[in-house]
Amino acid sequence: MDANVPGVSTSALPSGDSPYRAPVDEYMVALEVAGLTELLKLDCYRDIDTAAVRMVLEEFGRLASQVIAPTNRTGDIEGATYHAEDASVTLPASLRQAYARYVEGGWGALPFSPAFGGGGFPGSVGLAMQEIFASANLALSLNPVLTQGAIEALLQWGSDEQKAAFLPRLLTGEWTGTMNLTEPDAGSDLGAIRTAAHFDGEQWFVSGTKIFITWGEHDLSENIIHLVLARTPDAPAGTKGLSLFAVPKFIESSGESSPLRNALRCLRVEEKLGIHASPTCVMAFDGARGQLVGPLHGGMQVMFTMMNAARLSIGSEGPGVGERVLQAATAYARDRRQGRAETASAPVPSAIIEHPDVQRMLLRISTTTKASRMLSLTVKSYEDQARYASSDADRERGRNFADLLTPVAKAWATDIGFGAASEGVQVLGGVGYVEEFGMAQYLRDARIGPIYEGTNGIQALDLILRKIPRDQGRWLRELTDQMRAVIPEGYEPSHALAPSFRGLREAIDQVGAASEWMLEQLEQSRIDAVAGATPYLQLLAVTAGAYLMTRRALSTWSGDEAARQRAVGECNFFVAHVLSSAKGFAEAVTFGVARDAKIS
């Protein structure tokens, strides 16, 4: 850029990618709001305390800031390279080195059972680490996300032999995993899958083509374990006829000196808007040897285990992007001088962070990032309760709350991440629109979040068609009762959080009314219910976000005065600038299908 552009100080211009620092204090607060203290009382976590959690986040934060984050810009510019001569894919050396450091540290194993070499930490701590990784390098972070999804599927559905063969090296990251669902004619409609598997009496063989396979081929790990949905001969039509197979890139054999290359290959790597360092592959399976995972024709059950884990991880990318954007935009706004702020006393240009509208943008990024982070971590905590709580009632409650809120966390958090990136570009102005200065990459990278692992529209349909009606709406009502309980009875109008209490109560009432309307329409006019699915999810999301921001503010009441005032101010801002949209969402829910304004 021309250093002589009028009014632009070159010292205020960002250069390439911005530095990143993991906000460990914020993660500890968010984890506490999400129920960390209660989780650590469970027998399976009795050897872990909050000091250990902080130490883990601090150590991983250092790796993220010093080793992983510097690869972000390189990965975007150089990307993944496909070599047609041998169908291989290579990544820049800096990414290989960063991933090797991740493997050496054993970070991928941290939230899994010690029985397979894991660290035994709560899943919410593992999700916080995934967010930190996404902040540092979103494209690279997708590799462990898919691997950990494969681990979840094998833990729940794999045979003892499969667990012994695959899990130890998947946990370390020496091997990586993928999820192979989509085909050219089978995207969201998995019932149209044509990939076939046949059994010769001893071995399964898989043939077909899969598209949009994240990290389907690369040179970061020794082996890649593909989990592939396929149809067997004489299987029932639709999704009921699908089975899942573990198909390794290399097959280990006791009779061979080196692993055998399986009959699969990458046909090409897609050129994408963003996440350039994440190879999105077209994969061909040509009679590749595989192993059935889970029951025959039970592939959807197995795959949903993996998808639900991945959806929450993808949701965590939203606050991950938001945090990186916030740090970059705030640093720029402190240095960039333009115009005179309303409070300026000297006749010199003010730092743009002093202008109220820039403050508004930065606060919106900050508060929505914090709220969506707490939502994702809360859902993960419910998953831990569903697995490890001592009572049947607590496990049932954890499972149903996790199921209810997973689509909300995935959809809303990824929308938040993209919105934060767009706001970050606005803070930087023209500089933000120029690729050279890095902010544009965050915007491009974040756009995939609302699309993959089930589009956000599909998440909304899942919420209203499957999750809300469960047990005649019982779990949604219990959730709103829990939200309402955070509002003190008979609070004084002068209470510092009075605006938040009022706004939250009104939003909870709107959620309740919209939910009852939705349940009625599912019986009487399903098309009207479906038309309101997305605004319903947004209504529930902003209400849950305000509830968590209120809990966060109340958690500071007996602590440092400055921290309390900041948390209260952030909560009241969120209610005024974000939760205020709840009334509009509620009206959109009950509007129904646009019969007279239909586009044809």
Six token digits for residue 582: 């709840």
At 339, is the pLDDT very low, low, confident or very high (cuts 50, 70, 90)? confident
The candidate with the shortest Cα–Cα distance to 242, out of 283, 284, 191, 278, is: 191
By CB atoms closer than 10 A (0-12, 13-18, 19+), residue 90 is middle
pLDDT at 187 over 70: no
Residues 6+ apart with CB under 8 A from 49: 40
Residue 15 has what pLDDT? 54
- Predicted confidence (pLDDT) per residue in 69-114, tens digit: 999 999 999 999 999 999 999 999 999 999 999 999 999 999 998 9
Q: How many whole angstroms separate alpha carbon 445 and alpha carbon 428?
A: 17
404-427: per-residue pLDDT in tens? 999 999 999 999 999 999 999 999
The dihedral through the CA atoms of 210, 289, 167, 81 has a sign that is negative
**21 class by beta-carbon count within 10 Å (0-12 exposed, 13-18 middle, 19+ buried):** middle
DSSP three-state, residue 213? strand
Buried b (16+ CB within 10 A) or exposed e, 570-600: bbbbbbeebbeebeebbebbeebeeeeeeee
Helix (H) / strand (E) element for 320: namely helix 299-335
For position 9, what pLDDT does the model report? Answer: 44
Give the domain ranges of the chain: 16-172, 175-303, 457-600
How far is it, in rounded angstroms, from Cα 188 to Cα 202? Answer: 33
Query: Using one digit for the tens of pLDDT, what is the confidence trace for 301-323?
Result: 999 899 888 999 999 999 999 99
Torsion sign (Cα): 65, 70, 71, 75: positive
pLDDT interval class at 253 (50, 70, 90): confident
Backbone angles phi, psi at 512, to 5 degrees: -60, -45
Q: Give the confidence band of 6 by pLDDT, cuts at 50, 70, 90.
A: very low
What is the distance between the alpha carbons of residues 565 and 410, in angstroms, rounded to a whole number?
30
Band of residue 256 on the pLDDT scale cut at 50, 70, 90: low
pLDDT for 224 beyond 50: yes
Band of residue 258 on the pLDDT scale cut at 50, 70, 90:
confident
- What is the number of other CB atoms lying within 10 angstroms of the CB of residue 519? 17
Q: How many CB atoms lie within 10 A of CB 124?
A: 26
- pLDDT at residue 12 is higher than 60: no
* CB distance 270 to 212 below 8 Å: yes
**Average pLDDT value for the chain:** 94
Which among 453, 506, 516, 587 is annotated as catalytic?
453
Q: Kindly state the tokens that stand for 165.
A: 């063969």
Of 165, 159, 169, whose CA–CA distance to 253 is shortest? 165
CA angle, 149 as apex, 144 and 153 as ends, to 5°? 145
Q: Return the minimum-mean-pLDDT range out of 11-25, 250-264, 418-432, 501-515.
A: 11-25
In the predicted model, is pLDDT for residue 299 greater than 70? yes
Q: What is the pLDDT of residue 548?
A: 98
Q: Residue 600 — very low, low, confident or very high, per pLDDT cuts 50/70/90?
A: confident
The per-residue pLDDT for range 529-541, each reduced to its tens digit, is 999 999 999 999 9
The size of the chain, in residues, is 600
Asked if 420 and 325 touch (Cβ cutoff 8 Å), the reply is: yes
Segment 492-506 shows an average pLDDT of 96
Q: Is 453 left (phi over 0), alpha (psi -120 to 50) or beta?
A: left
- φ, ψ for residue 207 (rounded to 5)? -135, 135
Predicted confidence at residue 3, as pLDDT, reads 37
**Residue 193: Cβ-neighbour burial (10 angstroms; 0-12, 13-18, 19+):** buried
Quick check: 226 and 267 in contact, CB under 8 A?
Answer: no
Residue 17 scores a pLDDT above 90:
no
Contact status, residue 46 vs residue 156, Cβ threshold 8 Å: no
**Collapsed DSSP state (helix, strand, coil) of residue 490:** coil
Say which range, 282-286, 323-327, 496-500, 555-559, has the weakest mean pLDDT: 555-559
Q: How far apart are CA 216 and CA 147, in angstroms?
A: 11
pLDDT at position 345 is 74
Residue 32: active-site member: no
Question: Which two three-digit tokens encode residue 103?
Answer: 């493997």
Label residue 264 by pLDDT band (50, 70, 90): very high
Of 13-17, 205-209, 554-558, which gets the smallest average pLDDT? 13-17
Q: Which pLDDT value is given to residue 255?
A: 63
Position 563: which residue type?
A: A
Q: Strand pairing partners for 197?
A: 206
460 in Cβ contact with 518 (< 8 Å): no
pLDDT band of residue 587 (cuts 50, 70, 90) is very high
Taking the C-alpha atoms of residue 540 and residue 533, their distance in angstroms, rounded to an integer, is: 11
Q: What number is the average pLDDT over the span 187-216?
A: 91
Q: Is the distance from CB of 30 to CB of 8 less than 8 angstroms?
A: no
Least confident span in 83-97, 242-256, 386-400: 242-256
Percent of the chain with pLDDT over 70: 96
Q: Are strands 175-180 and 223-231 parallel, antiparallel or unpaired?
A: parallel
**CA 484 – CA 406 distance, rounded (Å):** 21
Q: Global pTM?
A: 0.95
> Domain 16-172: which CATH class?
mainly alpha
State yes or no: pLDDT of 5 exceeds 50: no
Sign, CA torsion 57/444/414/509: positive
- CATH code for 175-303? 2.40.110.20
Closest CA to 155 of 335, 469, 383, 345: 383
Give phi and psi for 575, each to the nearest 5: -65, -45
**In angstroms, rounded to a whole number, what is the distance separating the alpha carbons of residues 150 and 177?**
6
